[in-house]
Amino acid sequence: MKKQTRTIIIVLLNVLFCAYMLWFSTNNSFLRPYAGSKTREFFAGLILLITLYANYFLLYPKLHKKHPVVYWVVLVSLCIIAAAVDFAIAHRFMMYCNSAVIEKYGAFSFFSHHYRLIVIRNVTLNAFPFIFRERQELQKALDKEVQIVYQDARLLDVSDKDHNARLIPRDNIYYCQQDGNYTRIYVTQDDLYYSRYGSMKYLEQLFGTEEFVRVSNTLLIPYRYIHSCNGTEVFMKRLPWQKEPLSFAIEPKYLDQAPGQIALYLLNSKGQETMKPPKQNRKRRKPVKPSQEKTDTVLQYIKEHAGSQTKEIAENTQFSPTTVERCLAELRKQELVKFKGSKKTGGYHIV
C-alpha cells in the first residue's frame, strides 16, 4: 500500500511539473524573445521537457557510469539541437519584430546572443536531473553499506568516551538507553558504554523486533540477556562483573505488547534448551535363541494338542509368552511347525 501511494505521488508531481513548465514557457519568454503565438511557445516548452526527461531516464542511467565523457558530449549536443529547434520556431517573429535592432547591431550579433542564452538555459535545466540522480545513487550506496555493516556483519557504529569511532558486535549489546539527543549503548564488558547520535526509534527500526524489545521511551533491551519478566518489570541476566542483576520497569505505554513478546521468547528459548538430542541409531541386538530343551517341550505340546495358540502353549508349559514366541520362531525356521487358519481361530500344527 505504501509503495502504491508513493508511486501515485511521484506520478502526480511529474504531471504538475510538466504542466508548470509548459505554462511557464507559454506565458514567459524565458531567456529568449517571444515566439509569436501561444502554440509556438507551447512547442518550445515541450521540447525542453523532452530533453529533461530523456536526460533523467535514458542518458544518465545508460552512459554516466560507464562513459561519463560520452554522456556530457551527448547531453550538450542534445541541448544545442533543442536550442536550434526552439530558435527556429521563433525565428520569423523575431525577424519581423526586431528588424530595427538587427539593422543596428547586425543579424549575427543579435541571433548569436539569443541562441547562446537558449543553450545556457537548456544545459542549466538539464543539470538538475544530474544532481537528483547523483543524490539517489549516493543514497543507494550508503544504504548498501549500512546493510552490510548492520545486517550481514552484525556491527553497530558507535563512539567511545574519547569520541573515537568504533564498530561493536550487536550480540555484545546489553541494553540501549536514551540520553538527550544521544543513545548510550551499554555492552557486556565491565559496565562499559558507548554513545551514538540518534533517537531510540531509529535504533528500534534498525535492530527490528526479533532481537530487541522496547520497554519504555528510553530503553531498548535485547531478548538474549533477559532472565525473566513478571509483567511489569524485566529482570536481566547477571553478568560476571555485577554484584546484583539489573531490572527495568515497563512503562504503561508498553504493557500491552512487551510482556507478551518477552514471555514468548523465553518460552521458545527454554524449549530449545530442554529439547532432547535426537536418538542415535543403535545397533540391533541379535535375537536370543531359546534352549533346545524348551524348543522340544513346545514341539511335543503341539504334537499332542494340534491347533494350539501361543497363549495356550505358554499357560500349559509355564513358559513366558516371549519364550514361547522364540521357540515357535525357531521351529518355523526349521520347518517343523506351521500356523494354519486365521489369527483369531487358527493355531500351530506339525508339518
| pLDDT confidence band for 28 (50 / 70 / 90) | low
Task: Write the DSSP symbol of residue 164.
Answer: -
The pLDDT of residue 276 is 42
Residue 114 has pLDDT above 70, yes or no: yes
d(CA 314, CA 320): 6
Residue 175 has pLDDT above 70, yes or no: yes
The pLDDT of residue 235 is 92
- In this structure, CATH architecture of domain 292-350: Orthogonal Bundle (1.10)
The pLDDT of residue 275 is 36
pLDDT tens for each residue of 31-75: 666 666 777 778 777 887 888 888 877 887 788 778 888 888 888
What average pLDDT does this structure show over 281-300?
72
Task: Write the DSSP symbol of residue 167.
Answer: E
Residue 304 has pLDDT above 80, yes or no: yes
pLDDT tens for each residue of 221-277: 999 899 888 888 999 988 888 888 889 999 988 888 888 888 888 888 765 543 344
Residue 165 has pLDDT above 60, yes or no: yes
Domain map of the chain by residue range? 2-143, 157-274, 292-350
Strands (E), the chain: 155-159, 165-169, 173-179, 182-187, 193-197, 212-216, 219-222, 226-229, 233-236, 247-249, 337-340, 347-350
The pLDDT mean for the chain works out to 78
Superfamily of domain 157-274: LytTr DNA-binding domain (2.40.50.1020)
Residue 283 has pLDDT above 60, yes or no: no
The pLDDT of residue 61 is 77
Beta carbons of 78 and 53 less than 8 angstroms apart: no
